[in-house]
Amino acid sequence: MHLASFNRYQAFGIHFGLSLLIFLGLVALVFTVWYPGVLFDADNGWQQALLMIAGVDLVLGPLLTLLVYNPAKKSLKMDLSIIAAFQFCALVGGIYTVNSARPVGLYVAFPPAGYEILYARSLAPETLAAVEKSDQRVFYYQPGAGGSPFGPERQQDLKPAELKPVDDGGYGDFINRLTNDPIFKKDNTLRVPVGPHKWVVTDDQGKQIQVLPESAIKSAS
């Protein structure tokens, strides 16, 4: 069907519909790949990710089509090609930014002042590969010989062997060695804060993991 057979509102609707399909695919990517499991609750960065993608994919591209579309224009194909190229480049740039800034895990070191979120951009390649290969996304820190029990100053200096999954059987002993504060241990659960107003809560073996709001922790205390 020729471009001249559409009016600007029909063109806008078609462009918006195609963009919506792409956006829904990216939403699935955010929930299943970029922010899986407890990372979805621990880091709210997915909200900014979706806003960024929606702004480019659902708003900017279709709106430009609505503004420039005129069936009588001789340069219509060129105008639409430029919009499509701009939208594609912006979308690729947004996806690359979100992918590099995605969280890949959580880890806690001595003392348990709180879990840190491990980001893809912050880890050395071998550590990132080990974390992503692991079935677990929550770790505690065990330094090698001569290493600081407080953890490295930069996440980039974390070594794969220093990150132990919390379900390996040693997590409960790790918490017990670090503190006697009852805030971290209650009713056979181990609780450590992560980010603002959130806590990672596990059983004493680290096998059942959830992220709860601080209000839930206070109400249970």
Q: What is the pLDDT of residues 117-152, one digit of tens each?
A: 999 999 999 999 999 999 899 999 998 777 778 888
User: What pLDDT does residue 140 have?
Assistant: 94
How far apart are alpha carbons 12 and 101 in whole angstroms?
32
Q: What is the pLDDT of residue 79?
A: 87
Domain count across the chain: 2
Last residue of a domain, one of 39, 69, 100: 100
pLDDT (tens digit, 9 = 90+) per residue, 90-106? 888 878 877 888 899 99
Percent of the chain with pLDDT over 70: 95
pLDDT of amino acid 196: 80
The first and second tokens of residue 84, run together, are 């499509």
pLDDT greater at residue 5 or residue 124: 124
pLDDT value, residue 163: 95
Q: Is the pLDDT of residue 173 over 90?
A: no
- Identify whether residues 117 and 90 lie together within a single domain: no
Which structural domain, as residue segments, surrounds residue 45?
3-100
Identify the domain boundary among 66, 100, 134. 100
Domain end, chosen from 100, 127, 147, is at 100
pLDDT given for residue 21 in this prediction: 92
Residues 152, 91 share a domain: no
- 49-105 pLDDT tens trace: 788 778 878 888 899 888 888 888 888 888 888 888 988 888 888 788 778 888 999
Q: 138 and 214: one domain?
A: yes
pLDDT at 60: 85
Cα separation of 58 and 24, whole Å? 10
Give yes or no for residue 34 having a pLDDT over 70.
yes
pTM for this prediction: 0.78
pLDDT at residue 3 greater than cutoff 70: no
Evaluate if residue 1 carries a pLDDT over 70: no
